[in-house]
Amino acid sequence: MLGNDEDVVEIPRRPGRRRDESKDDVIMTATRQLIAERGYEGMTMDAVAERAGTGKATVYRRWPSKVELTVDAVVCGRGMILTIDDVPDTGSLRGDLMSLRGIQDSGRNDALMSGLHAAAQSDPQVGKLFHEQFVTARMALMYALLERAQERGELLPGIDLEMVATIAPAMIAYRKVVAGKKVSAEYTERVIEHLVLPLATGERPDVQA
C-alpha cells in the first residue's frame, strides 16, 4: 500500500459552475414528446432546446448528435421492456394476459412508438434500437407467457406458438402505426378474448345464443 492514494481516481473537482444534471431529464422528456408529436424527421434540435427551456449548446454539450440523443431518450424511457419476471403467475393464461392489458403501451408511449417507427426507417442505429425495444421484447414476452401456459397444460396441441405470440403485438401495432387509431384497454381485451385465447386454449368468449 502506498498510503491513501487508492486506485480510485482522484476526482480533481474542477472549478467552474457545475453542470445541472436535472437538465438531462428535461431534455430527454422534451425529446420523447417531440418524437411522439412529430416523428423523428419532424423533431428538430431547435425545438428540443426550446421546449426544454435550454440553449442548443446545452443539448450538444451532453449529446453529440441527434441520433445519440434519440437513442438515449428512447432507451432511458424505462419501464417499457417487460420480461416474464415482471408478470406474476396468475395461474391462467387469461389472467396473465389481462394483467398486461393496461400496462402494455400505456398512454403517451403510443405516439412515441409511431414517431419512432419513422426514425427507424431513416437511421439504422435507431432502427436496431426500435426493433429491440418494440419488436423483439414484446414477442419474447408473449412467447414466454404462452410457454408458461403450455407447462400448465392449458394450450391446445399443435399450436404455432410463434404465430400466436405475434398476434397481439401485430394487432396493436397495426391499429396504432398503420391504421392510426387509438389502442384502448377495451381493444386489447378484445384481441385477447376473441383471438389469442380461442387460438391458444380453445376458450371462446361468451356467446348468448
Partner DNA sequence: GGGTTTCGGAACTCGCTAGTTCTGTATTAG
Partner DNA sequence: CTAATACAGAACTAGCGAGTTCCGAAACCC
Residue 61: which of a second copy, DNA, none does it interact with, CB under 5 to 8 A by kind?
DNA
Identify the sign of the CA torsion 193, 195, 196, 200. positive
The single residue among 118, 129, 141, 183 that binds a second copy, judged by CB under 8 A, is 118
For position 61 contacting DNA by CB under 7 A, the verdict is yes
Q: Can residue 125 be called a binding residue for a second copy (CB under 8 A)?
A: no
DSSP 3: S
**One-character DSSP codes across 87-120:** S---SSHHHHHHHHTTTTT-TTHHHHHHHHHHHH
Give the C-alpha separation, 31 to 126, whole Å: 14
> What is the grid cell recorded at 57?
449548446
By CB under 8 A, name the one of 19, 108, 152, 190 that touches a second copy.
190
Residues 136-165 within binding reach of a second copy (CB under 8 A)? 156-160, 163-164
SS3 156: coil
User: Is 72 a binder of DNA (CB under 7 A)?
Assistant: no
Contact criterion met (CB below 8 Å) for 74 and 33: no
Among 167, 185, 189, 203, binds a second copy (CB under 8 A): 167
The contact mask relative to DNA for 17-56 (x = CB under 7 A, - = no) is: xxxx--x------------------xxxxx---x--xxxx
Q: Which is nearer to a second copy, 25 or 41 (CB)?
A: 41
3-state SS of 27-95 is HHHHHHHHHHHHHHHHCCHHHHHHHHCCCHHHHHHHCCCHHHHHHHHHHCCCCCCCCHHHCCCCCCHHH
> Would you state the cell numbers that stand for residue 67, as one nine-digit string?
441520433
Which of DNA, a second copy, none interacts with 94 (beta carbon under 5 to 8 A by kind)?
A: none
Please report how close the Cβ of residue 18 comes to DNA at its closest, in angstroms. Answer: 4
Task: Please give the residue ranges that form the binding site for DNA (CB under 7 A).
Answer: 13-20, 23, 42-46, 50, 53-58, 60-61, 64-67
Task: Please give the residue ranges that form the binding site for a second copy (CB under 8 A).
Answer: 39, 41-42, 114-115, 117-118, 120-122, 127, 131, 134-135, 156-160, 163-164, 166-167, 169-171, 173-175, 177-180, 190-191, 194-195, 198-199, 204-205, 207, 209
